[in-house]
C-alpha cells in the first residue's frame, strides 16, 4: 500500500507601504476629486489622502473635496497592499497635474 500526499503550494502575498507628498498646483475641486476617486477604486490596496491633520479614503469624491486642499498646499498619499506603489504613483500624478 502506498501513500500519496499532495504537495501544498503556498503563495506569498507581498504587502508593501508607500507614501509621497504632492504640492497642489490648483485647488482640489470636483474634476480632480472625481479622477482620484475613479483611479483609487481600481486598486486593491488601502489608500489614504492626508491634508491638514485630516485623513480620507480617496474612493469617495465628497471625501476628497471635503479635505479642502488648495493650490500650494501639500497632500500626502499613502497606500498599503499588493499594489501600493502603483496606487501612490497614479494618485500622485493626478494631484500633481490638477488644473
Other CB atoms closer than 10 Å to residue 57's CB: what's the count? 13
> Residues 6 or more apart from 78 whose CB is under 8 A from it?
17, 18, 19, 47, 48, 49, 50, 88
Catalytic, 18? Answer no
Query: CA-to-CA distance for 4 and 18, rounded, in angstroms?
Result: 44
Q: What is the β-pairing status of strands 54-56 and 74-81?
A: unpaired
Catalytic residue among 19, 26, 27, 29: 29
Return the active site residues: 29
Amino acid at each position: 500500500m502506498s501513500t500519496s500526499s499532495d504537495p501544498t503550494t503556498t503563495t506569498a502575498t507581498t504587502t508593501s507601504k508607500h507614501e509621497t507628498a504632492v504640492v497642489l498646483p490648483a485647488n482640489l475641486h470636483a474634476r480632480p476629486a472625481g479622477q482620484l476617486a475613479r483611479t483609487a477604486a481600481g486598486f486593491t490596496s488601502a489608500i489614504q489622502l492626508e491634508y491638514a491633520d485630516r485623513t480620507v479614503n480617496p474612493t469617495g469624491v465628497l471625501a476628497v473635496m471635503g479635505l479642502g486642499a488648495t493650490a500650494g498646499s501639500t497632500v500626502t498619499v499613502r497606500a498599503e497592499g499588493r499594489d501600493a506603489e502603483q496606487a501612490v504613483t497614479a494618485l500622485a500624478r493626478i494631484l500633481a497635474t490638477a488644473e
